[in-house]
Amino acid sequence: MSEKFPAVGHRYLVDFKAFRVELVFASETSMTYYNLDANGDHIGQETVTVAVDPVRDGLFLVTWTESDKTTVVHLEDYRLNRIVTHVTDPTRGLSRFEGTMTRID
C-alpha cells in the first residue's frame, strides 16, 4: 500500500473520554503528544519516535515507546475519525481506550 500517512503536518484533538490529548505529527517518524487538562490546556508533553504501518485505505497502526517505557499502540482511522489505543504502563499494566479525533489545523 502506497497511501501517505495523512496526519503529517497536522494537529489532532483526541477525546478518549477518560482523558484528552493533542497529537502533533511532524513526520511519519516523529510525533509530540500533549496531555490536556479539563480546560484544554497542555499539562505535559513528550516527543516520541513513531512507527506507522498502513492497514487499509485511511487506517494506520501507529506505535511508540515513551521515556518511562510505556508502550502505546494506536489504530488510527482517518475515514471514521476514530482511534483505538492499547497502552502498556510499567506500573498499571494494559489499558484500552477508544475515542474520537478531530483535526485542529
pLDDT score of 1 = 46
Q: Do 48 and 33 form a contact (C-beta atoms < 8 A)?
A: yes
pLDDT tens-place string over residues 3-14: 799 999 999 999
pLDDT score of 90 = 87
Rg (CA), the chain: 13
Residue 2 confidence (pLDDT) above 70: no
Q: Which residues contact 19 (CB under 8 A, 6 or more apart)?
A: 35, 36, 97
Q: 3-state SS string over 72-98?
A: EEEEEECCCCEEEEEEEECCCEEEEEE
Residue 45 confidence (pLDDT) above 50: yes
Q: What is the average pLDDT across 73-102?
A: 96
pLDDT score of 68 = 94
Q: What is the average pLDDT across 45-56?
A: 97
Q: What is the average pLDDT across 68-88?
A: 97
pLDDT score of 3 = 75
Please report, for residues 29, 35, 50, 64, 92, the alpha-carbon distance to residue 2 in angstroms, rounded to integers and kept in the order given: 16, 32, 18, 22, 37
| Assessment of whether the complete model's pTM goes beyond 0.85 | yes
